[in-house]
Amino acid sequence: MSLGTLPNALVVVAIVIAVLVRRLSWSELENSDADVWRGPVILIGVGIYQLYNSHLGLHVVDITLLVVGAVIALIAGVASGRVAQVERRAGKVFYRLGLPGLGIMVAYLVVRLGLVGVGHLFGATVAGGGALMVSIGANLLTQSLVIQSKATHTVEEYTPQ
């Protein structure tokens, strides 16, 4: 593990923990609520910056791992967003992941970290660090978009016409 890898890992862990704690408890959601997508977009941006800065020459293994990581992230994001609970209370929309969403997130993180290990075995240069940040950010952003879609649908169900 290089000296630059530890700060990356700590940033990823801190953001994932903060987002999970927030999403496991009931939180008010507004369609314009930047808190839902701000963290994931920052995580993706930092990850892309790190990938661009340190890995200009990508190999087939690197590209394969990036694509597989992105696909897994999107599938897990859609799945956890779909099982999220969305409720309308006193004219406001609230959401949380609940235990099924937590299970999907934990399974995703285990698979994603396993993919990092496989990448290291095959000599990939982008197995961890920036690629991990982009993948987790994409997962959380996808989850956020699905939750916002459910929230919009919930508001429309209860709005008198």
33-74, pLDDT tens digit by residue? 676 678 788 888 988 888 776 656 677 888 888 899 999 999
pLDDT: which is higher, 115 or 39: 115
| In-domain check, residue 141 | yes
Residue 80 in domain: yes
Residue 159: per-residue pLDDT: 57
Domain count across the chain: 1
In a domain, 24, yes or no: yes
Please check whether residue 161 lies inside any domain of the structure: no
pLDDT of residue 3: 46
Q: Structural domain of residue 140, as residue ranges?
A: 5-154
pTM, rounded to two decimals: 0.80
pLDDT computed for residue 1 by the predictor: 45
φ/ψ (deg, to 5) at 138: -65, -40
Indicate whether 160 belongs to any domain.
no
Residue 143 lies in a domain: yes
Q: Please give the backbone phi and psi of residue 87, each rounded to the nearest 5 degrees, phi first.
A: -135, 150
Residue 159 located in a structural domain: no
What are the backbone angles phi and psi of residue 29, rounded to the nearest 5°?
-130, 130
- Among 41, 37, 44, residue whose Cα is nearest residue 70: 44
